Amino acid sequence: MSIRPWRDITRRQCRQIMVGNVPVGGDAPITVQTMTNTPTEDVKATVDQIRRCEEAGVDIIRVSCPTEEATAAFKQITRAATVPVVADIHFHYKRALEAADAGAACLRINPGNIGSAARVAEVVRAAKANGCAIRIGVNAGSLEKDLLEKYGEPCPEALVESALDHIKLLQDHDFHEYKVAVKASDVFLAVAAYQQLAEAVDCPLHLGITEAGGLIGGTVKSAIGLGSLLWFGIGDTIRVSLSAEPEQEVRVGYEILKSLGLRTRGVRIVSCPSCARQGFDVIRTVERLEEALSHIRTPMSLSVLGCVVNGPGEARETDIGITGGGAGKHMVYLSGITDHHVEDEDMIGHIVRLVEAKAAEIDAGRAVSMDVTHGKAAA
């Protein structure tokens, strides 16, 4: 049995498309998506939810457009959003035409579900005219009847065949700005389908374990399924599907990518599960720090360890670290080196100030580096 290099992630080569101003595929960063769950007709509630997702770092957001009233509101929503908005369309091709004209960056639609070839042609014309991409979204829960009869049940081969059938409908109209998903709630089924599809097509792949469940269970399922595929280089954009608020899906998506070294955003916290040796309440401290540092976008690392068993070793590898000490005084590490002590009562605020200062320092250094690079280019 051959063993892969332990940090070897080589992205699958595919062509790149644009979803609005966001590149997907090729050598572009793997993007994080989510979907609103407010009534689309309620523009304020939908835009407010999009704002929270934007603050969490969403790259692309999807909005359902099941009715004519929804696509009428969609125009206001796309104008208010600062990220590309995907219109989620299922069966009614006119909703796709309306959404494309209303500013959709992408249409989520299965061409084979909207009726005649003439209707497919109309949707493709609207997409081309408005610069829309298309996402083909195959789902194990809504496979075509003929494929279920052919295979007897949802299986990887059925999902891939469905995807290829939908792709052909677009290619027949000389449309190639598409990405594809083959989702299932079963981790094994989804992973196997994506692996097969990755070998069969050269387009970007949208990853997801659909209907994954609640925050904890769904996060675990998504991490296993998406993590497996991403580790093998498969996937260009991801959506974590949780029965939770959309901004939570964004945060979990980033954590999956950060754990694999595929994206860096915000503070990566290394913390212990705590035990009787802890010098402070690690669990409550980490909870408060996650909330207090959620506004930080600068990539950096923070270790929070309850005692000195593993604390110094972890602190050596992080930008800022703290380990529990005796008598309510705890050691603070800066860039891996012991620096000073902090007492219980000021610990949370002190760490937040250190992180904010470090983030400002990193951002300033990055700005100087960019200025120098641009200066050389100009010279």
Return the structure tokens found at 71: 């696509």
User: How many angstroms separate the Cα of 376 from the Cα of each of 334, 369, 379?
Assistant: 33, 11, 5
Mean pLDDT score, 122-140: 96
pLDDT digit string, tens, across residues 225-249: 999 999 999 999 999 999 999 999 9
Distance (Å, whole) CA 227 – CA 231: 6
Which residues, including other chains, have CB under 8 Å from residue 271's CB and lie 6 or more apart? 282, 286, 303, 304, 305
pTM reported for the whole predicted model: 0.90
Do the domains 17-259 and 267-368 sit in the same CATH topology, yes or no? Answer: no
What's the CATH architecture for 267-368?
Answer: 2-Layer Sandwich (3.30)
Say if residues 239 and 249 touch (Cβ distance below 8 Å). Answer: yes
353: Cβ contacts below 8 Å, ≥ 6 apart: none
Per domain, the residue ranges of the chain are 17-259, 267-368
Q: What is the pLDDT of residue 377?
A: 46
Q: Which of 24-28, 79-83, 273-277, 330-334 has the lowest mean pLDDT?
A: 273-277
CA distance 316 to 245: 35
Span 282-295, mean pLDDT? 94
Q: What would the pLDDT profile of 182-218 be if each residue is shown by its tens digit?
A: 999 999 999 999 999 999 999 999 999 998 899 999 9
Q: Domain 17-259 is classified in which CATH homologous superfamily?
A: Dihydropteroate synthase-like (3.20.20.20)
Q: Is residue 370 predicted with pLDDT exceeding 60?
A: no
> Judging by DSSP bridges, how do beta strands 106-108 and 85-88 pair with one another?
parallel
Point out which residues pair with 60 in neighbouring strands: 33
* Beta strands 329-334 and 337-343, pairing class: antiparallel
% of the chain with per-residue pLDDT over 70: 95
Q: Which residue has the higher pLDDT, 6 or 27?
A: 27
Q: Residue 4's pLDDT is what?
A: 60
